[in-house]
Structure 1
Amino acid sequence: MPFTKISTNKLKNRFLQTDVLISSSIIVILLIMIIPFPPMLMDFFLALNVSLSIIVMLVAFYTLKPLEFAVFPGMLLILTLFRLSLNIASTRLILSEGYAGSVIESFGGFIVQGNYVIGIIIFAVLIIINFVVITKGATRIAEVGARFTLDAMPGKQMSIDADLSAGLITDQEAKHRREEIAREADFYGAMDGASKFVRGDVIAGLLITCINIIGGLVIGTVQNGMEIGEAAKLYTLLTIGDGLVSQIPALLISTAAGLIVSRAASEGNLSEELVSQLLGDPKTLMLGAFFVLFLGIMPGMPFIPFALMGGLFITLAYKRHEDEEQEKTAEAQQQELPEGETDSVEDYLLLDTLELEIGYSLISMVEEQQGGDLLDRITSLRKQLASELGIIIPSVRIRDNVQLDANRYIIKMRGIEQGDGELLPDYHLALVPSDFDANIQGIETKDPTFGMDAIWVSGKNKSEAEKFGLSVIEAGAVITTHLMEVLKKNAHKLIDRQMVKRLVDNIEEQSPALVEELVPEGMRIGEIQKVLKRLLRERIPINNLVTILETLADHCPQTQNTDILTEYCRASLSEIITKRFVGEDNEIVVVMMGSNLESRLIQQAQQGGLNANTLGLEPSLVEQLYKNASSTFEDMIHQGYDPVLLTSPVLRHTLFEFLAPILPDINVLSYNDISQNVQFQTFDRLHLEQAELNEAATV
């Protein structure tokens, strides 16, 4: 008995599931075509058909984007099949019983006033409106939308790849955007086919109506012995009622299909856009009111209707004008200082940490009303860099500078220019390799980030550049990529004591014992800042801040020397450092120090005579060492390797300070920075002639 009860409940729950009910409804639709139903049940099905059509049209009306109603193509087939099954069932009742329920009788009697001639005319007008106007237009829009969507897919995919390469979006965001593009293409392709259902439904409704009229006349006169006029009145009225009750839902569904496929460029629901775009300009409303009133005073024209419409337009124009004045007043009040405050001179002494100055032609890239997405891109950029580097990227203040060229921009950090470039907002930047010889129409330029040869191509030439395999980047991605490289290069300049305090406080929530041990007895915030700045200057992320603080807590009791503490931290982060340079064969290609030169420098370091300016060498030797280093590392870069110098931990920091002014991209590693399971491959050795070293040592 308990087993039977549990099984019954499970069966009941499964039957009441939505997917089971919907799939079962398809079977019911097929049964309607086959099994005769009483007129009362037909009334219910016809009312359901009208109700569903109204709901579908309202949903389409308030849908913001087509993909929000992605189920529409499949649902269109089900609703079409449902209407056709009702046509078959109503035809059976009309021809067999001469009565098909109250709904059809009301449409055939009350709506057309019992006159089948009027009913035929109304039915014909509905067919023309639905078939010639709405269905044909919706079908054409669906065809064009499907073609254009498929043509635009490669460009959209390239844009996603460019944003992903620039670090503006994550892998998950890129995957989501690719899926959305695929869904959009599938939707328009499905709508292109589904619109044929609507067109076929109209034709089927017209044919069924003609067949019903002819069949009713034959059955009424031949089988039932009715007069031809009586038979025509009875069966024609019922058939027209059946046609009207079928065509009105079909008209609603066709309208919904037209609304869905024509809303590609909309940003709000249709009612909001109609009010804002059609009735949003008071000047247009006043001109319209003038012409409407002018028509009203023309001889023979009824004045009252035109006067009412003109008065309505004037009222709307006046109200819209008042709304605009209130908006302007509110904006002006927001820009003014609060009462009791004055414009302080001290405010002008504070420099913005990060600032982006743009020419007036680039303002459209910032303003969302003009389709600009630069603010969103910068927000994503700040999040990505915070995750990669482990620091809090300050907000970027964007200013328009009338003194700049229209297409120029400048990136500043605390008032000092760090980078600049020029953009063409409506163009795309195609990066051109050195061996590229194809002729592409565009404006030659240089990539502002890396100085590579590039071409600004217009939208119509973008696909041509992509066919040649060139990387094509939007103007917004160009400026954010440049900003990202500037921030990575100057990350050590961004980290101040306040930021370090926030980072340490964040760690304290997770590891309170660590922070209590280190701060303030072990090290002050300023001392921790120096270590973090050293790491960031050599492009080592500090996102593993717990490990860094643990290392400082372990070694700060023995020494407070920032250089030594930084080397300890680098050793703790050796796996992270190694990962940057190791190749697929688990090797790091490095330049080694010549043994004689390294021994000489270590000896000077132990004697305390090593400095980063000259390494204790004569000027001629310094110049010779600079030349040898430049030549060696240029060859290394040309062969596709990262410029890495491997040396003793005692010399590492001093050599970096010595070489960084002439080789900004140099990476100086010590043996402690490399994981033990990684092999070295020596690219070359950095040395001076033995005779020159001996002479310098003698001096």
Structure 2
Amino acid sequence: MKIKDLVVLFGVILIIVMLIIPLPPPILDVLIIFNISISLLIILVAMNTTDSLQFSIFPTLLLLITLFRLGLSVSTTRSILGNADAGNVIDTFGNFVIGGNAIVGFVVFIILVIIQFIVITKGAERVSEVGARFTLDAMPGKQMSIDADLNAGLISDSEAKQRREKIEKEADFYGSMDGASKFVKGDAIASIIIVAINMIVGLIIGMMQMGMDLNTAVITYTLLTVGDGLVSQIPALLISTATGIIVTKAASEGSLSGDITKQIFAYPKLLYVTAGTIFLLGVATPISKLLTFSMVGLLAFAGWQLQNVKARAPDLDQPLDDSEETPSDEMRSPENVVNLLQIDPIEFEFGYGLIPLADTNQGGDLLDRVVMIRRQMAIELGMIVPVIRIRDNIQLQANEYVIKIKGNEIAKGEVLLDHYMAMSPGFEDESIVGVETIEPAFGLAALWIGEDMKEKAEMSGYTVVDPPSVVSTHLTEIIKRHAHELLGRQETRQLIDHLKETYPVLVEETTPALLSIGDVQRVLTNLLKENVSIRNLPMIFETLADYGQLTKDMDLLTEYVRQSLSRQISTQVSTKNEPLYVVTLSGSVEKIVADSVQQTDHGPFLSMDQAHSQKILDSAVEETNRLSQMGQTPVLLCSPAVRMYVRQLLERYLPNVPVLSYNELEVDVEVQSVGVVNAE
């Protein structure tokens, strides 16, 4: 065991010894001086800490010092009452400090007790209580902030762990201080009682056992008692003050003395105002002119000196480069405004009633779900979803949330945290009652039901989901639908750099030799726009390298890429060992579409008259709706030559219906046509 550990153990044993075994006055003198010294050291350390956690041992130390002081009081009381002698230190405080006047000493002692008990101890106790409550109340918000920064990638896992540990330590510290401050209050009360006992019992012992007359007994025991009270109350006052400093001092980068001098003397002109006030006081009142005018001169000189130091400060800090902006210029610099123009790619805002969704202390797992959504999108779509900014918005309704893409509101919804969303299996059960609503992700009719109705709804075939699942599903679908908007040139560059690590030759041959990053981004966004995963980047780049020499039309290149991804697309739209039910285009419709394509310098585009386009659209809607009513996912099938133009024609009205060409289906996929789009 280390020596410092032995010292602490010896100190605890010494406290027990003082409570049981009488100690001679010389040892009491040493312990009293040690008590004063350690108390002074504690208050100096408290003044020079910049953060309360730097003195985290203070609550425990406070208890040990209080117990030590009470043990010392028991020993000195035993010595005073038993021998009318408590050592040189107490005798000095009783005679020299208070001038040998018992009444004066008693008054000074009472004043110290009042200051400590009513002012400092009471205040420190209240501040500790409020600090503990505020720290505990602020924990959920701090935890949310850490989780949001971690999810945003602003901090690492280790930094997040350190911050969480600091929050926990702060809560433990202020909770401990709240309890420890009660011991300080009890110590002050015990000191008053001990002094009263020493005085009363001392008079009785002095006159009845030691044969002293009343005057001698009063002088002897009053001086000893008051001296003992002073040597115990002065350290107690220092410890109580240190308690107040610890719990009231906000975290800063400097010590208490540095903060005081820096902040109080930050305004030199106010020293002139103070000097003027003291000058008027000296002129208008009988107070000594020498005293007041001396103070006026001191204040005026201090103000003048500080003003000169403040005026020279910019010159001392002036950079060698004269072209560098001054702080005032920096504030006016447009760069400070530019930071406000930053738009988050994805934002999820919610009302105050949905805070438990994101608060891990209340069981919320939204942040974990967001991480899983980003991983799911990387697997399904092959793209890195940007950071999803999660924040509360007091302008929203309590249970409302909004999803934004690049600053624009894309979708919104409302959830009831204490309910479950139940969606019927196709038939309604009248016994299932709840609040009618619409499932936000797919627009299905649903009910918000209570916990008591959940099991019954599940038995009736309803799909029952909790609020976090409703929100995460909605967010997932929104990201899928708008994935092409989230993939910019910068994100495309990241994907290319990642591919280059394993396929350097393929990347070097494709870009920038054949295609620019913008060209590649155009192809990838075309794929994402139709919900085609871009995870197979090697295959995509192989196709771009093959056909990039033949055409610079990115839409046509996209068609070639789609055909090379035929196995992936077939797997996406069909089920193994089951036929794929499709709606095909009649020969006349395909001819109308092909004849409506016009070639320009900027590439081909579809120019179809309103009559034909409306007929084709009406027929496509009718056939796909009929296929949906059969319980099948509608798929539109056409020839490769017109696929992209048909998609352009239908994407606004049938955005979720896949439009495929025959070349995009594998030969082993069984296709059954259940409808034909006509223009008649």
Mapped contact 2:496–2:507 kept (Cα < 8 A): no
Over residues 359-405 of structure 1, what are the superposed CA-to-partner deviations in whole Å (9 max), with x where a residue is unaligned? xxxxxxxxxxxxxxxxxxxxxxxxx99999988999xxxxxxxxxxx
Q: Which amino acid aligns with 1:199?
A: K
Q: Of 200, 217, 238, which aligns to 2:224?
A: 238
Partner in structure 2 of residue 495 of structure 1: 490
CA gap of 1:623–1:304, structure 2 versus 1, over 3 A, is farther
Note if 1:221 corresponds to 2:207: yes
Over residues 105-145 of structure 1, what are the superposed CA-to-partner deviations in whole Å (9 max), with x where a residue is unaligned? 33334322333333222212211111122122223333444
Question: Aligned-pair distance for 1:238?
Answer: 2.9
Q: Of 505, 514, 520, which aligns to 1:531?
A: 520
Residues 409-448 of structure 1: matches in 2 within 5 Å? 428-431=394-397
Partner in structure 1 of residue 456 of structure 2: none
Question: Aligned-pair distance for 1:53?
Answer: 1.9
Partner in structure 1 of residue 584 of structure 2: 596
Residues 312-461 of structure 1: matches in 2 within 5 Å? 312-322=298-308, 325=311, 337=323, 355-356=341-342, 428-431=394-397, 449-450=409-410, 452=412
Partner in structure 2 of residue 260 of structure 1: 246
Note if 1:288 corresponds to 2:274: yes
CA gap of 1:140–1:610, structure 2 versus 1, over 3 A, is same
CA gap of 1:338–1:186, structure 2 versus 1, over 3 A, is closer
Partner in structure 1 of residue 23 of structure 2: 37
Partner in structure 1 of residue 361 of structure 2: none
For the residue of structure 2 that corresponds to 1:86, the secondary structure is helix
Note if 1:658 corresponds to 2:648: yes
Note if 1:108 corresponds to 2:87: no
Q: Which amino acid aligns with 1:211?
A: I
Q: Of 62, 67, 70, which aligns to 1:84?
A: 70
Residues in 2 aligned to 1:633 and 1:95: alpha-carbon distance in whole angstroms: 104
Mapped contact 2:81–2:202 kept (Cα < 8 A): yes
Note if 1:139 corresponds to 2:134: no
Q: Which moved more, 1:247-256 or 1:601-610?
A: 601-610
Mapped contact 1:84–1:201 kept (Cα < 8 A): yes
For the residue of structure 2 that corresponds to 1:36, the secondary structure is coil
Q: Which amino acid aligns with 2:520?
A: V
Q: What TM-score do the two structures reach when normalised by structure 2? A: 0.59
Mapped contact 2:275–2:295 kept (Cα < 8 A): yes
Structure 1: state its 5+ residue gaps.
Answer: 1-13, 340-346, 358-383, 395-422, 436-446, 455-470, 472-483, 582-586, 635-642, 672-684
For the residue of structure 2 that corresponds to 1:224, the secondary structure is coil
Q: Which amino acid aligns with 1:80?
A: T
Residues 458-607 of structure 1: matches in 2 within 5 Å? 490-495=485-490, 500=493, 511=501, 514-515=503-504, 517-518=505-506, 520-521=508-509, 523-524=511-512, 527=515, 529=517, 530-532=519-521, 534-535=523-524, 558-560=546-548, 563=558, 594-597=582-585
For the residue of structure 2 that corresponds to 1:209, the secondary structure is helix
Residues in 2 aligned to 1:521 and 1:103: alpha-carbon distance in whole angstroms: 92
Mapped contact 1:567–1:649 kept (Cα < 8 A): no
Q: Which amino acid aligns with 1:563?
A: T
Residues in 2 aligned to 1:253 and 1:490: alpha-carbon distance in whole angstroms: 63
Mapped contact 1:601–1:615 kept (Cα < 8 A): no
Over residues 447-501 of structure 1, what are the superposed CA-to-partner deviations in whole Å (9 max), with x where a residue is unaligned? 96446599xxxxxxxxxxxxxxxx9xxxxxxxxxxxx99x9875444529xx94x
CA gap of 1:336–1:490, structure 2 versus 1, over 3 A, is farther
Residues in 1 aligned to 2:303 and 2:23: alpha-carbon distance in whole angstroms: 57
Q: Which amino acid aligns with 1:82?
A: F
For the residue of structure 1 that corresponds to 2:341, the secondary structure is strand
Structure 2: state its 5+ residue gaps.
Answer: 326-332, 344-370, 402-406, 415-466, 468-478, 550-556, 626-632, 662-670
CA gap of 1:663–1:283, structure 2 versus 1, over 3 A, is farther
Partner in structure 2 of residue 278 of structure 1: 264
Residues in 2 aligned to 1:267 and 1:616: alpha-carbon distance in whole angstroms: 69
Question: Aligned-pair distance for 1:173?
Answer: 7.3
Q: Of 277, 286, 289, which aligns to 1:303?
A: 289
Matched residue pairs, number? Answer: 534
Residues in 1 aligned to 2:321 and 2:227: alpha-carbon distance in whole angstroms: 65
CA gap of 1:618–1:261, structure 2 versus 1, over 3 A, is same
Question: Aligned-pair distance for 1:275?
Answer: 3.2
CA gap of 1:202–1:557, structure 2 versus 1, over 3 A, is same
CA gap of 1:332–1:572, structure 2 versus 1, over 3 A, is farther
Residues in 1 aligned to 2:145 and 2:156: alpha-carbon distance in whole angstroms: 14
For the residue of structure 2 that corresponds to 1:105, the secondary structure is helix
Question: Aligned-pair distance for 1:171?
Answer: 8.2
Q: Of 247, 252, 259, which aligns to 2:233?
A: 247
Mapped contact 1:94–1:100 kept (Cα < 8 A): yes
Question: Aligned-pair distance for 1:149?
Answer: 5.1
CA gap of 1:61–1:603, structure 2 versus 1, over 3 A, is farther
Mapped contact 1:593–1:646 kept (Cα < 8 A): no
Residues in 1 aligned to 2:623 and 2:157: alpha-carbon distance in whole angstroms: 37
Partner in structure 2 of residue 397 of structure 1: none
Residues in 2 aligned to 1:117 and 1:263: alpha-carbon distance in whole angstroms: 38
Residues in 1 aligned to 2:394 and 2:617: alpha-carbon distance in whole angstroms: 40
CA gap of 1:331–1:247, structure 2 versus 1, over 3 A, is closer
Mapped contact 1:518–1:549 kept (Cα < 8 A): no
Note if 1:209 corresponds to 2:175: no
CA gap of 1:626–1:41, structure 2 versus 1, over 3 A, is farther
Q: Which amino acid aligns with 1:658?
A: Q
CA gap of 1:267–1:354, structure 2 versus 1, over 3 A, is closer
Question: Aligned-pair distance for 1:354?
Answer: 8.8
Residues in 2 aligned to 1:660 and 1:599: alpha-carbon distance in whole angstroms: 18
CA gap of 1:93–1:691, structure 2 versus 1, over 3 A, is closer
Question: Aligned-pair distance for 1:201?
Answer: 0.6
For the residue of structure 1 that corresponds to 2:39, the secondary structure is helix
Q: Of 22, 35, 42, which aligns to 1:56?
A: 42
